[in-house]
Chain A
Amino acid sequence: MSAAAITFDAVTKTFDTTSGQAHRAVHDVSLTVADGEFVCLVGPSGCGKSTLLALAGGFERPTDGRVLLGEAEVCAPGAGSVTVFQDYGLFPWRSVRENVEYGLQVRGVPAAVRRERAEAELAAVGLAAHADRYPHELSGGMRQRVSIARALAVDPGVLLMDEPFGAVDAINRARMQEELERLWREHERTVLFVTHDVDEAIYLADRIVLMTPGPGRIAEEIEISLPRPRARGSREFFEVRTHLLEALHLAGSEQPPEFEI
């Protein structure tokens, strides 16, 4: 593959907890995501996968090490990447089209061009007919499509997705994964995708990065070379799945339970 789109270089992130103790969310993680690659971060809660995404998105700064997008160190959000959030973050006072236009407006794109781009992106996610509706009139799956269209409208080099389908029901979820996979193949964007759904990761990823908690670090990296679009019922899919679940189980079993009674 070509040059690195995202580089985590020996990154450690420590948070101060309310009890005054330092909590090490991510410990000495080095990871490179190639240009155009689709990488899924998978692991149990507390493994630091969302922290890594926040670091790449510029919402957090590493305590130690460096995070790069391309050649540039990430200092703040908004430079070279766009994050898609689990709860969509659509603006309720804007129509669907106006929501998609938001990022273009920030970049000073003229109104006519903005409208055209927004409508093209909405068509790409199958929501052209809903451009004049408002977010509260849409289902969860449709809202996340709008939020993805809004991100793609600004043509980000890197798309960061934080459990984007976590709040979508199971049936729509599979369809959303298929749409995202198709959009990704059409545009060859770099995607870093956080999920705790193993099937989702196998369906989408070129490479799955398995993380373990306490403190968060990379346990294993698994290349998924199955041809796309992937058949969820296939034997190979199932084999990868079994391997991942075993690895996850091992990763989990070293840890004390998350809560005790």
Chain B
Amino acid sequence: MTRTLRILLPLAATAVLVTAWHAAAARVGSALLFPSPGAVLAGALETAAEGRLLGDVVASLRRFAIGYAAGVAAGVPVGLLLGLSLHARSALDPIIQVLRPISPIAWFPLFTLWFGIGELPAIAIVFIAAIYPIVLTTANAVREIDPLYLKVARTFGDSRAGTIARVVLPASLPGIAVGLRIAVGTSWVFIVAGEMLGVTSGLGYLIIDARNSLRTDLVLVAMVLIGLLGLSIDRALRLAEARVRRHWGGAR
């Protein structure tokens, strides 16, 4: 596929979708039930001019970043432990497998009981959503390290801590990077849910608030923004991942 086509095709598909949306909105004829793309754009510009939209975006991104960073900070060491120690793995794996299918949303009542109303439950939900993919891919990456690297570490007499820092962690970084990217996607989905209760800012709150004030156009503004931001975050991590892989000689 040529470069021009790669750019044109998604643009054309988007144009078709927006046109169809516009036509459908005109048929429905109710801005409350189904606002047109133009109405949504107007709503976006209006809230942006009020300064509110940027505030909501920043609030969501900030909570997401905190929850995700906490997920990385906890998930990578736990993953390393599971990857390195057969004992830790057989002890913890069943617990993780039972906890993992529980939706982060299901934790919400507990989180509000523990942390009260506020942004902490939203952050905690992102943390829960991020930590499982990070733990599992990290553990997997560690298990799949070429055993020859570990033999080299041993023949040079590296200590256990030195081997982890100098060999295990860098050797598993390409695998960990994949986990970090997957976790960004899954946990970003949950920031909206986390913000639907207990906070008064953020894109999730914008959706609830707009619905309560019958501003369906703003509901769609928030939805589109969530999608676009999710795409941007994913792309940024893909770039970082590709860099890691290139630096690690991924061509081999």
Instruction: Report the minimum CB–CB distance from A136 to chain B (whole Å).
Output: 3
CB contact list, B211-252 vs A, under 8 A: 247-249, 251-252
The reply to whether the CB of A195 lies closer than 8 angstroms to some CB of chain B is no
- A65 interfacial by beta-carbon distance below 8 Å: no
Residues of A within 8 A of B251 (CB): 136
In contact, A77 and B155 (Cβ under 8 angstroms): yes
State whether A78 touches B158 (Cβ < 8 A).
yes
Contacting residues, chain B, for A154 (C-beta < 8 A): 156
Chain A residues within 8 Å of chain B by Cβ, number: 27
- Main secondary structure, interface of B, reads helix
Given A106-B157, A106-B158: A85 and B152 interface contact (C-beta under 8 Å): yes
Contact between A82 and B155 (Cβ–Cβ < 8 Å)?
A: yes
Q: Which of A57, A85, A89, A103 has the most CB of B within 10 A?
A: A89
Contact of B166 among A57, A59, A102, A135 (CB under 8 A): A102
Contact with A along B164-206 (1 / 0, CB 8 A): 0011001101000000000000000000000000000000000
**Chain A residues closer than 8 Å to B167, beta-carbon distance:** 91
Contact at A106–B149, with CB atoms within 8 Å? no
A85-B151 CB under 8 A given contacts A91-B170, A105-B166: yes
How far apart sit A166 and B148, CA to CA, in the bound complex (Å)?
16
Quick check: A135 and B152 within 8 Å, CB to CB?
A: no
A62–B3 Cα gap in the complex (Å)?
Answer: 62
The answer to whether A92 has its CB under 8 Å from any CB of chain B is yes
- Write the chain A residue with the least CB distance to B252: A136
A134 at the interface (CB under 8 A from B): yes
Query: Is B55 among interface residues, defined by CB-CB distance under 8 A?
Result: no
A50 interface residue per 8 A CB criterion? no
Residues of B within 8 A of A91 (CB): 149, 152, 167, 170-171
Name the one of A83, A87, A92, A137 contacting B155, with C-beta atoms under 8 angstroms: A83
Interface-central residue, B155, B162, B173, B251, by most chain A CB under 10 Å: B155
The 0/1 profile, CB within 8 Å of B marked 1, for residues 50-81 of chain A is 00000001110000000000000000111101
How far is B248's CA from A96's CA once the two chains are assembled, in angstroms? 13
Q: B148 — which chain A residues lie within 8 A by C-beta? A: 85, 87, 89
Q: Most B CB atoms within 10 A — which of A91, A102, A105?
A: A91
Provide the B142-164 mask, 1 if CB < 8 A to any CB of A, else 0.
Answer: 00001011011011111100100
Question: With A87-B148, A105-B166 known to touch, is A77 a contact of B154 (CB < 8 Å)?
Answer: yes
Please give, as numbers and ranges, the residues of chain A lying within 8 Å of B157 by CB-CB distance. 77-79, 106-107
How far, in angstroms, from A58 to B153 measured CA to CA in the complex?
A: 13
Q: Please, which residue of chain B has its CB at the minimum distance from the CB of A147? A: B152
User: For A137, what are the chain B residues with a Cβ–Cβ distance below 8 Å?
Assistant: 249
Q: Quick one: given A87-B148, A91-B167, A106-B162, are A134 and B249 in contact (CB under 8 Å)? A: yes
Give me 13 A-to-B residue pairs in the complex whose CB atoms sit less than 8 angstroms apart, sorted by A's number: A59-B151, A59-B154, A76-B154, A78-B155, A85-B152, A87-B148, A89-B149, A92-B248, A93-B173, A93-B249, A103-B156, A105-B166, A136-B252
A contacts, CB < 8 Å to B = 57-59, 76-79, 81-83, 85, 87, 89, 91-94, 102-103, 105-107, 134-137, 154
Given contact pairs A59-B155, A91-B149, A135-B249, a sample of 10 additional A-B residue pairs in the complex whose CB atoms are under 8 Å apart: A58-B154, A77-B151, A78-B154, A78-B157, A89-B148, A93-B171, A93-B173, A106-B166, A136-B249, A137-B249
